[in-house]
Amino acid sequence: MSDIEIPESHPRYQSLLTRHRIEEGVEKGITSQQGLIAQGRGEAFDYLLGERTIPSADDAARVAAAHLLLATHPVVSVNGNVAALCPAEIVELANTVDADIEVNLFNRTDERMQAIVDHLREHGADEVKGLTADGRIPGIDHERAKVDADGIGSADVVVVPLEDGDRAEALGAMDKTEIVVDLNPMSRSARVATVPIVDNIVRAVPNITAHARELADASREELEAIVADFDADAALADAERVIRSGSDGSE
């Protein structure tokens, strides 16, 4: 991003920065052109949220951190938009909660897969799964069904930011705990998630990491209590209320 000059005082600084990251991702072969459309759709919801993390989303991020710390085999799933928007933050999250990172794409080619793996390694990842693709998610007929058997295939908790609804449903049918980051509280992905975080991924991923660090010394009983107290439907309803009313979400 060194060739992009956006003053931080610009009222649309963060929005413009993420747009350029997606654009750069397309140029690098990391992000598909369809990813540009998905980014624009998400940005519209973020605008309605006030481009901030509302309290219910922060609560959900804390619950997500608790799930990841309780997990036996957590995995963070990465697509082209995720790789373009927050690669270093994904690596930091995975390192903090001892999770695997796995690339999973709808528009999958060997070249794109390798480009994303290399991109994540450039941002600090030691190992990135997804190239083996020796497992499948039942009930999906497209390329996102392909997973590594020792990655998402055997995970108990999966972070699936910017997820397709059909794969979110299919992963849920496999009894996996799903943590979904989605700016649209009415999307199928958010509604089938164990933990829906209605927030921009560039805020949500570092926020989960921060909560994981805060909870690192918590007992298993404390983490289980955090998980048990979470109401996904209430979190979604609160986000929808904020979007519709423009309130700050703190009531």
Q: pLDDT 10s digit of each residue in the chain, 251 long?
A: 445 566 566 555 566 667 667 777 677 878 766 656 666 677 888 889 998 999 999 999 999 999 999 999 999 999 988 999 999 999 999 999 999 999 998 888 899 999 999 999 999 999 999 999 999 999 888 888 899 999 999 999 999 987 778 888 899 899 999 999 999 999 999 999 999 999 999 999 999 999 999 999 999 999 999 999 999 999 999 999 999 987 655 54
Question: Strands 195-197, 177-181: parallel, antiparallel or unpaired by DSSP?
Answer: parallel
Q: How confident is the model at residue 2, as a pLDDT?
A: 43
248: enclosing H helix or E strand? none
CB 166 within 8 A of CB 106: no
Tokens for 3?
């060739």
- Give the chain's largest Cα–Cα span: 49
Q: How confident is the model at residue 1, as a pLDDT?
A: 42
d(CA 176, CA 151): 12
d(CA 132, CA 124): 21
Question: Strands 100-103, 135-136: parallel, antiparallel or unpaired by DSSP?
Answer: unpaired
Burial annotation 131-150 (CB, 10 A radius, 16+ → b, else e)? eebeeebeebeeebbbbbeb
Nearest CA to 195 out of 251, 144, 234, 138 is that of 234
Distances (CA, A) of 207 to 17, 46, 64, 107, 125: 19, 16, 10, 29, 19
In three-state secondary structure terms, 28 is helix
Q: How confident is the model at residue 143, as a pLDDT?
A: 83
d(CA 247, CA 10): 24
Q: How confident is the model at residue 107, as a pLDDT?
A: 80
Neighbours of 209 (CB within 10 A): 21
Tokens for 192?
């089938």
Q: Which residue has the tokens 């804390």?
A: 62
Handedness of CA 205, 211, 215, 216 (dihedral sign): positive
**What letter represents residue 94's amino acid?**
A
Q: How confident is the model at residue 41, as a pLDDT?
A: 73
Q: How confident is the model at residue 6, as a pLDDT?
A: 60
Q: How confident is the model at residue 11, as a pLDDT?
A: 53
Q: How confident is the model at residue 4, as a pLDDT?
A: 56
Tokens for 169?
């449903």
Q: How confident is the model at residue 167, as a pLDDT?
A: 86
Q: How confident is the model at residue 9, as a pLDDT?
A: 60
d(CA 56, CA 185): 12
